[in-house]
Amino acid sequence: MRLLATLLLSTALYGQWPQFRGNPALTGVSTASVPAQLKVLWTWEAGDVIESSPAIDNGTVYIGAGTAELIAVDLATGKLKWKYKTKEGVGESTPAVAGGIVVIGDLSGVVHGVNAADGKGLWTYSTGGEVKASPVIVEDRVLIGSYDGSLHAIHLKSGKNLWTFATSGPVHATAAVEGGVTYVSGCDGIFRAINIKDGKEVYEIKTGSYMGASPAILGDLFFVGTYANEVLGLDRKAKKIAWRYEHPTRKFPFYSSAAIWEGKVILGGRDKIVHAFDAKSGKPLWEFTTRARVESSPAVAGGKVYIGSNDGRLYVLDANKGTKLFEFEAGAPVSASPALADGKVVVATQDGKLICLGA
């Protein structure tokens, strides 16, 4: 039972992708079977920038847009199901879906709970700053960071505050969750472990680096990129940094959140490179160079890495070797992260297109 619970947390089960990074552990791994050759099945245009990444649940794609809307589109056909109006535009906050409720934050600082079936608003919750973090839903609560410097726990059904944990800077990253504890990489340079029941801090690790990326969990290790041009491996048992990586010549921040696959840490860098490291040692394993910076966070399925680049392409790479298997010209920068479900890859572009690829 414990192993099953771990698998549920670390993979997007049954080919769904119900939140940012696919699961509460933020590993970016899916059980979906994706065809080797991809073609465009449909395109939906939002009419404004999309920085949010798609979430997929029960045959529906959910995404936020700069038009100040949460949008639901049919995965099979690309037809609009409904639109819900947010208070202001949606930035990078990605929807999370559970229990028939879709949750998303907007740039006014409001978090919205919406009926997944018909797009009717159920509740709103106001934070004290813009929300760019994505919500994570665990049991009866929503965890979401805000630029008010706090991580908020909200009751999923009612939208009521359960607790608020104040940090020393904006909370841009999405919180990872495992074993009743949530882990947050902060803009204040502190990595925190917080009990999800009562909001009390369990411990903290000082990194000395601004972190906009979200952490990914593998066993007793966490992985996160920083604005100090480093990728960190953090040991939650020892409560210290296990390893640091900095490229010997290319000094650029890491904004992409990591995917974890078979002992490898895979993420993009603003150095235009997709990097892979050994999870235990931090030793570089391979690099793949794109034509522009990589802020998209990778998704992994069947030994393949799916990742966007600001060069306007979606790349499919061999997860073991880093060699290119396929690329798709999207026509505009792809800073959002792809979602995988039902043999399909769904990705958004900065010119407001939601694109579904499949066989």
Name the residue among 88, 98, 78, 111 with its Cα closest to residue 139: 98
Could you give the C-alpha distances from 117 to 43, 60, 268, in angstroms and in order? 22, 10, 35
Q: 13-39 burial, b if ≥16 CB within 10 A, otherwise e?
A: bebbbbbbbbbbbbbbbbbbebeeebe
Strand partners, 266: 259, 276
Q: Indicate if the pLDDT at residue 8 is higher than 70.
A: no
Q: Indicate if the pLDDT at residue 13 is higher than 80.
A: no
Task: Please state the separation of Cα 49 from the chain's center in Å.
Answer: 18
Q: 119-134 burial, b if ≥16 CB within 10 A, otherwise e?
A: beebbebebebbbbbb
Radius of gyration of the chain (CA): 18
pLDDT band at 11; cut points 50, 70, 90: low
Average pLDDT over residues 120-127: 98
What pLDDT digit, counting tens, does each position of 156-169 carry? 999 999 999 999 99
Q: Indicate if the pLDDT at residue 36 is higher than 70.
A: yes
Average pLDDT for the chain: 95
Average pLDDT over residues 53-77: 98
C-alpha span between 130 and 153 (Å, rounded): 16
Q: Indicate if the pLDDT at residue 5 is higher than 70.
A: no
Domains and CATH numbers, the chain: 2-358 (2.130.10.10)
Q: Indicate if the pLDDT at residue 4 is higher than 80.
A: no
pLDDT at 12: 57
Tell me the two tokens of residue 59: 């045959």
* 80 neighbors 63 (Cβ within 8 angstroms): no
Amino acid in the structure at residue 252: F
If DSSP codes are grouped into helix, strand and coil, which group holds residue 6?
helix
Least confident range of 27-36, 138-147, 252-261: 27-36
Residues 6+ away with beta carbon under 8 Å from 139: none
What pLDDT digit, counting tens, does each position of 173-200 carry? 999 999 999 999 989 999 999 999 999 9
C-alpha span between 256 and 228 (Å, rounded): 13
Q: How many CB atoms lie within 10 A of CB 157?
A: 14
Name the residue among 180, 78, 158 with its Cα closest to residue 111: 158
C-alpha span between 61 and 53 (Å, rounded): 10
pLDDT at 86: 98
Least confident range of 10-14, 18-22, 82-86, 311-315: 10-14
Q: How many angstroms separate the most distant Cα atoms in the chain?
A: 52
pLDDT at 138: 96
Q: Indicate if the pLDDT at residue 10 is higher than 90.
A: no
Task: Please state the separation of Cα 33 from the chain's center in Å.
Answer: 20
Name the residue among 28, 35, 66, 19 with its Cα closest to residue 353: 66
Sign, CA dihedral 22-23-25-27, equals: negative
C-alpha span between 145 and 136 (Å, rounded): 10
Q: Indicate if the pLDDT at residue 32 is higher than 50.
A: yes
Looking at the chain, the whole-number percentage of residues with pLDDT higher than 90 is 94
